[in-house]
Structures are given as structure tokens and as C-alpha cells.
């Protein structure tokens, strides 16, 4: 009964070991075949029988003799033909080795080659509908779908950054306006004329396309949503928190001065190294303050610390710890913490033992010495984080990764539809044809911000355009 092919990451994203992408549906084999080849560069999947494992590479589809240049990852591919699979459909599982970032890239390639991202619980749903599971499991399946979709929806909204949601809403509003204009002219041709509209819409499409391309780029480097390991930088004012963030970013993003309390609000950046993505939050220094604006920043810092997967606690190595440090430690005792003794370029008077004592000999406490302003010790810090990640102590925010892929897919669909609008204009199709793909684009963007179409168009027509009679 299902005609389309779905794909998703099927494993937890906890470490950089093996990650599995599952593809299921009638096109599963041909989709994977288009992005997978053996060590001789041959596409072999369609010749394989069921329940076989093939070794090879993920490559760009259509890459001919140049295939080696486009290798993304070395993988093992497991083939299971209908009905001998979990979903009872043709299923291909790609075992990737290259970590979370690569896993996402491979999935994107699969999606571009004709699969669609699976809905929450969809593999299980198919398994059930295709008769895989017995009746006693039906209730459980329904609960899974229910809870997963609730979770994915809430996380999607939570992770979409405010500015980006605003940009998408803005593009949608403009597309809707154009749609309503065309439609009102079609419904009421004697009152509303479409003369000269072609060129105007063409211009508009270019603007929309440009803006969506920028969004896709920002999805690429993780700026679209707050994904990665939620990392919060804490420390007393002027301990060097912003300098640390800048050191990671390699640019002066946060304003750094010698005046304590310069970072009054929360700065957020996404940093990737060695296949790990950190979503870093730079907070205002935590101290008792009379300044109302700064106080808001401090309160926020506390909230972020509460939700964090990892705390980077920056300590000024040239000054002795005091009340301020103790107060911070009381907030983060139960968290995964790396204590960073900063300003190693200055005479350091703080010892590791002293820090350990402050934390009442917290067992999993890691200590690193750096000079953020000179960039010394940064590599050691990165290695420390990597170790925590690979040992499974800290985890990627899985929902965020999935959300990012989902949003990307929607953005790319919206982009494709707008290209079709442009194509219709170029080939001088009548105006009513523009609506088809404008609407598709509008709908795709709507899935990102969690808005459905319903009767938007009719509402817009009535509110913006004066109809006749």
C-alpha cells in the first residue's frame, strides 16, 4: 500500500562508532545503488541476493570514473528483500563509520536520490501495516507514533532559532501574498488584472530562492538549529569565557574587554571539530549584580547550565578562587564538567589540587590548562572533549540532528518548487500554472515552522484583495 521509499538514521548518535541508515520501500535498492559502489567503482547492489553484506563506498550519484574523488565514507551495506525484513519491504541498511556529521551527509545523499525522510515511528508503522507484528503490539505501535511525533514536534520548535523561524515565516507570507494575488485574479478576472505580472513574480522568485539558499547553507554548518552537544561556558566575570569561545571560533565574535561583565547576554555558536559538534553558549559571568540588564543574563546562564550536556568552567589561573567560584560549583556539581585553568601565559597561582578540593574531589572532573588569548592548550581541550564523547559520557542531541535533516529536506523541496515556478514563467505558461508550485513551496516551508496550510489561501484572498459582485 505504500508507494514511496523512506530513510532515516536508525541508531543512536551517542558515539562515532558505527551508525546505521535504514532505507525501506520499493525503491530502496535502486536508491542506495545510486550512491554506493564497490572498491572497483561498480554499482553492484541490484545484482545481490537477499541477506547479503557488501563492502564499498558512498559516492556522489552519477560520479563516473571520478568516483574516488567523491567518496564520502567507507561502508558495509546489508540488503534484505521483501518480505524478509523488519518492514516487510525491500530494505537496505548502510553501516557508516565516519561519525555523526558524515552520517548526516550520507542520509542527505540518500534523500536526494529519491527517498523521503521517515516520519517518527514510520518503520514500525509499516512493519505493523504490512503484517509483521501481532495484534498485541498494535497498541504499543500507536503509542510510539504518538509520543515520537509529539517529541519531534516540540524539539523541532525548540531548536529552530528565533531569527530563522522569523525568516521562514516572512518568506511564507510573501509567497502566500503572491498566490492570493494570482488566485484572486483568476476568480475575479474582471476586477483584478495579471498584466505584466510575469516579470514581477520572476524577480520575487529570485529573491525567495536566494534567501532559501542562504538558509540551506546555514543548515550545512549547523546554524539552522541548535544542534550538537549542549555546552555551556561558565566562570566569574573576566575569567576569559568569551576569549575561549573566540579561540574556538577563530574570530572575534564575542566582545572581549578587561571590564568585568562585558558579556551581558548569552552568545550562542556552533563549533565542529573531529566530527563532533558543540552547541556552545557563552554566558554572562555569574556574580551578584545590581545591574538589572546583567542580572537577566546571569539568570539565563543558570538556566542554560541546568540543561547543559557539558560545562566548561573557566577559572582565572592568576587569581585565587573565592566565593564566586564556590557559587558556580554549587550549580554544576552533578554535571559533566571540564575545569579550564585559563591565563596560563600569566603567572599561575592556582593548582589542580585546589580545584579538585573545591569540587569536593568530584571523580569525573577533568582539568585542562590553557591560554585562551594566546591559543595555547586548545588542542588538549579538544582532545579531552573528544574522549568524553567517544567514551559515551556525553552525547549528541539526537533529536536536533534529525530535526536539522528534516528542515533541510523541507528547504530543498521548497527550493525545487520555486525553480519550477521560474521554469513555468520562462516557458510562458499561463499564470494559473505558477500557483501549483508556489503552493508546494509554501507547504514545504510550513512544515519547518510547524504551520499547516488549511485555509490560509482563501483567508488571504479575502483579506488582501477586494473581490467583486
Binding range to other proteins, per CB under 8 A, among 15-23, 187-195, 236-244, 253-261: 187-195
The count of other CB atoms within 10 Å of the CB of residue 79 is 22
Cα–Cα distance for residue pair 41/68, rounded to 1 Å: 8
Cell numbers standing for residue 15: 558515539
CB of 162 to other proteins, least distance (A): 24
Binding range to other proteins, per CB under 8 A, among 43-51, 189-197, 201-209, 373-381: 189-197
Is residue 1 at the binding interface for other proteins, with CB under 8 A as the rule?
yes
Start-end of H helices in 67-137: 99-112, 122-129
Task: Choose, by CB under 8 A, the member of 190, 199, 210, 290 that binds other proteins.
Answer: 190
Is residue 18 at the binding interface for other proteins, with CB under 8 A as the rule?
no
Task: Choose, by CB under 8 A, the member of 3, 49, 258, 360 that binds other proteins.
Answer: 3
CB of 85 to other proteins, least distance (A): 19
CB of 110 to other proteins, least distance (A): 21
Is residue 199 at the binding interface for other proteins, with CB under 8 A as the rule?
no
Is residue 457 at the binding interface for other proteins, with CB under 8 A as the rule?
yes
From residue 67 to residue 106, the character string flagging contacts with other proteins as x (rule: CB under 8 A) and all else as - is: ----------------------------------------
Site for other proteins, residues 382 to 441, rule: CB under 8 A: 427-433, 435-436
Rg (the chain; Cα; Å): 26
Buried b (16+ CB within 10 A) or exposed e, 298-330: beebeebbeebbbbbbbbbbbbebeebbeebbe
Site for other proteins, residues 27 to 56, rule: CB under 8 A: none
Site size with other proteins, rule: CB under 8 A: 47
CB of 154 to other proteins, least distance (A): 12
Is residue 466 at the binding interface for other proteins, with CB under 8 A as the rule?
yes
Residues in Cβ contact with 128 at an 8 Å cutoff, skipping those fewer than 6 apart: 137, 138, 141
HEC secondary structure over 326-388: HHHHHHHCCCCEEEEEECCCCCCCCCHHHHHHHCCCCCCCEEEECECCCCECHHHHHHHHHHH
CB closer to other proteins, 215 vs 439 = 439
Is residue 17 at the binding interface for other proteins, with CB under 8 A as the rule?
no
Specify which residues 9 forms β-bridges with: 21
Residues in the chain: 469
Task: Choose, by CB under 8 A, the member of 188, 382, 412, 451 that binds other proteins.
Answer: 188
From residue 135 to residue 164, the character string flagging contacts with other proteins as x (rule: CB under 8 A) and all else as - is: x--xx-xxx-xx--xx--------------
Is residue 187 at the binding interface for other proteins, with CB under 8 A as the rule?
yes
Peptide bond into 228 cis (omega under 30): no
CB of 8 to other proteins, least distance (A): 15
Task: Choose, by CB under 8 A, the member of 43, 125, 172, 241 that binds other proteins.
Answer: 125
CB 236 within 8 A of CB 63: no
Residues in Cβ contact with 372 at an 8 Å cutoff, skipping those fewer than 6 apart: 240, 243, 244, 246, 247, 314, 342, 343, 378
Sign, CA dihedral 376-377-382-385, equals negative
CB closer to other proteins, 173 vs 352 = 173
Cell numbers standing for residue 207: 529573491
Binding range to other proteins, per CB under 8 A, among 114-122, 205-213, 235-243, 249-257: 114-122
Sign, CA dihedral 270-344-300-361, equals positive
Is residue 186 at the binding interface for other proteins, with CB under 8 A as the rule?
yes
CB of 71 to other proteins, least distance (A): 34
Binding range to other proteins, per CB under 8 A, among 103-111, 116-124, 203-211, 347-355: 116-124
CB closer to other proteins, 73 vs 460 = 460
CB closer to other proteins, 101 vs 205 = 205
> How far, CA to CA in Å, does 313 sit from each of 100, 143, 238, 239, 447?
26, 40, 13, 10, 38
CB closer to other proteins, 298 vs 439 = 439
Binding range to other proteins, per CB under 8 A, among 103-111, 128-136, 213-221, 257-265: 128-136
Task: Choose, by CB under 8 A, the member of 62, 83, 392, 468 that binds other proteins.
Answer: 468
CB closer to other proteins, 2 vs 366 = 2
Sign, CA dihedral 32-37-43-48, equals negative
CB closer to other proteins, 223 vs 406 = 406
CB closer to other proteins, 141 vs 216 = 141
CB 118 within 8 A of CB 14: no
Cα–Cα distance for residue pair 263/255, rounded to 1 Å: 7
> How far, CA to CA in Å, does 255 sit from each of 1, 248, 271, 373, 453?
58, 14, 18, 13, 43
Report the interface residues with other proteins, using CB under 8 A: 1, 3, 119-122, 125, 128-129, 135, 138-139, 141-143, 145-146, 149-150, 183, 186-191, 194, 427-433, 435-436, 454-455, 457-458, 461-463, 466-469
Amino acid at each position: 500500500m505504500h508507494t514511496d521509499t523512506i530513510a532515516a538514521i536508525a541508531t543512536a548518535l551517542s558515539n562515532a562508532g558505527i551508525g546505521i541508515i535504514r532505507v525501506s520501500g520499493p525503491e530502496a535498492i535502486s536508491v542506495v545503488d545510486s550512491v554506493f559502489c564497490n572498491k572497483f567503482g561498480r554499482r553492484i547492489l541490484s545484482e545481490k541476493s537477499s541477506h547479503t553484506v557488501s563492502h564499498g563506498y558512498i559516492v556522489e550519484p552519477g560520479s563516473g570514473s571520478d568516483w574516488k574523488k567523491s567518496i564520502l565514507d567507507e561502508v558495509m551495506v546489508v540488503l534484505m528483500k521483501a518480505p524478509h525484513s523488519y518492514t516487510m519491504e525491500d530494505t537496505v541498511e548502510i553501516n557508516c563509520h565516519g561519525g555523526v556529521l558524515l552520517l548526516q551527509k550520507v542520509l542527505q545523499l540518500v534523500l536526494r536520490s529519491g527517498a523521503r525522510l521517515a516520519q517518527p515511528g514510520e518503520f514500525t508503522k509499516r512493519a505493523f501495516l504490512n503484517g509483521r507484528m501481532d495484534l498485541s503490539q498494535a497498541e504499543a505501535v500507536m503509542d510510539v507514533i504518538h509520543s515520537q511525533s509529539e517529541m519531534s514536534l516540540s524539539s523541532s520548535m525548540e531548536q529552530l532559532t528565533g531569527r530563522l523561524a522569523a525568516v521562514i515565516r516572512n518568506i511564507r507570507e510573501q509567497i502566500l501574498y503572491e498566490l492570493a494575488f494570482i488566485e484572486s485574479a483568476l476568480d475575479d478576472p474582471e476586477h483584478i488584472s495579471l498584466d505584466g505580472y510575469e516579470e514581477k513574480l520572476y524577480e520575487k522568485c529570485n529573491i525567495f530562492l536566494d534567501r532559501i539558499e542562504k538558509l540551506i547553507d546555514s543548515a550545512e554548518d549547523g546554524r539552522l538549529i541548535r544542534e550538537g552537544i549542549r555546552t555551556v561556558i561558565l566562570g566569574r566575570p573576566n575569567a576569559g569565557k568569551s576569549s575561549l569561545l573566540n579561540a574556538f571560533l577563530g574570530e572575534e565574535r564575542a566582545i572581549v574587554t578587561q571590564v568585568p561583565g562585558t558579556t551581558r547576554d548569552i552568545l550562542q555558536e556552533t563549533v565542529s571539530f573531529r566530527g563532533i559538534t558543540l552547541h556552545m553558549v557563552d554566558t554572562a559571568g555569574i556574580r551578584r549584580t545590581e545591574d538589572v540588564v546583567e542580572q537577566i543574563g546571569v539568570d539565563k546562564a543558570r538556566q542554560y547550565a541546568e540543561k547543559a550536556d557539558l560545562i566548561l568552567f573557566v577559572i582565572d589561573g592568576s587569581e585565587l578562587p573565592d566565593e564566586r567560584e564556590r557559587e558556580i560549583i554549587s550549580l554544576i556539581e552533578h554535571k559533566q564538567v571540564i575545569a579550564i585553568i585559563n591565563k596560563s601565559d600569566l603567572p599561575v597561582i592556582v593548582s589542580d589540587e585546589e580545584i579538585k578540593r573545591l569540587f569536593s574531589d568530584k571523580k569525573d572532573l577533568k582539568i585542562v590548562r590553557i591560554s585562551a588569548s594566546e591559543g595555547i592548550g586548545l588542542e588538549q581541550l579538544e582532545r579531552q572533549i573528544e574522549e568524553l564523547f567517544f567514551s559515551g559520557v556525553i552525547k549528541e542531541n539526537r533529536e536536533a540532528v534529525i530535526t536539522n535533516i528534516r528542515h533541510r529536506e523541507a528547504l530543498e523541496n521548497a527550493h525545487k518548487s520555486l525553480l519550477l515556478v521560474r521554469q513555468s514563467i520562462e516557458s510562458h505558461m499561463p499564470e494559473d500554472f505558477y500557483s501549483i508550485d508556489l503552493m508546494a513551496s509554501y507547504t514545504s516551508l510550513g512544515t519547518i515552522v510547524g504551520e499547516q496550510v488549511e485555509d490560509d489561501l482563501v483567508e488571504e484572498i479575502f483579506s488582501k484583495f477586494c473581490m467583486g459582485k
